[in-house]
Structure 1
Amino acid sequence: MTKVSKPNITTERVITDFNTPLEQSDPYIEEVIIENCVISNQDIEGIEFINVIFRNVTFENVVFEKMYLRDVQFEKCDLSNTQLDEITMQRVEFSHCQLTGVMMADGRFQNVSFNHCNLQLAGMGYCTQKLVQYHECLLRQADFYHNKWNKVYFNNCELSGVNLSNTALKGIDLSTSTFDHLTVGMEDLKGCIVNQIQAQHLSSLLGLIVK
């Protein structure tokens, strides 16, 4: 397993609200810790966060399409149902976060970690993911339709109902995770690493009867 790079964060400046006026033509925030607050009713396209920590922050009715994140941490944050389509992330870490129903379609992820996160019903169709780790995450019915994956790791995750259609799984190791069914094509399964119980679950896709 190739190591996923962690965010490189040096900031110590803390803010506890998100009322700082932003230039809509060039919204840019860097080198701050944003904590213990609610970010609500924001619709900003192309906002950039660089060298930022979000700690115990709730996002409500937020649309940050085409957002750019570099060297960013989210700790115990709630981003449920946030609209983040066409997001770009480099060296980003989510820890103990609620991401139910988050939308990240057409995203670009590189060196991104999701640790102990709830990603049920997350929408990540048409994403490109390189060096991305999902560790002990709940991913029931998440959508990874038509993804391009390179060194994507799932460690002890719950994957039941995940949509992997048109996503090649060659070299992807699902053996430590659990699922009772997946939406996946036969061709996409070639080279996927599974355990014996998972192979039995997937055998129906091949028309096999396991005795």
Structure 2
Amino acid sequence: MRVTYLGPALVVRDHPAIQHMPVSDLPPTCYLAEVVAGAGVDGELIEGDVLVADEGRVAGHGDLVVARDDGARLCAYRAHRVGADLRLVPVGGGAPVMASRVSATAVVVRRARHPSGDGEPVEGIDQTLVDAFAPWFSLPTWSTPSPADARRFHDCCRDYLQDHGAQVQAEGFAESLRGAIRRRHGGRWDDYCERALQHRAQCAEAISEYLHDTQQALR
């Protein structure tokens, strides 16, 4: 899947897709890339998605990466470890290539998505946050106080903060996840769901603030 280079993440601030995405905490090795038109509107990535790619990170198994193919075209891949080698599978289909066959590999650390059709961003939505917490809210028991669901939520918090290092704000967390949870569970939403989401949002913010205030590095 082809993507277009937009520029350094700390410089390109006027793109509509990142207006609600925190970028000030990103290292200078990050840049923005946009999925080209014609990529379709279904699948892991769709046309108009904006990716934050970090050239300073080493790609590992399961990472979404951006790299230049042997024709110097910038493309998106999913990385898979095969023994001591790393194989890159093109997002959207295509023949896999070994990582040694591409150049300028960068790991995608955040992404933002336009809604289908109108080219405007979904206000307040951090798609990377949605993706990170999907293992928790995808189960029908997400809103219950069960220990298993609490563990899944905390695992998602750990993984998100390890991968992105960004502080989580309760309001932004709830705004980003509310719509995704409703869609995942057939539109069902009531006061119980809202209270459960707000509780988890406050927990995520508290965990993030504690790690930030105590200067604990998760990476």
By the TM > 0.5 criterion, same fold? no
Shorter-chain TM-score: which interval? under 0.3
Could you state the TM-score of these two structures normalised by the residue count of structure 2? 0.24
Greater relative contact order (Cα 8 A, min sep 6): structure 1 or 2? Answer: 2
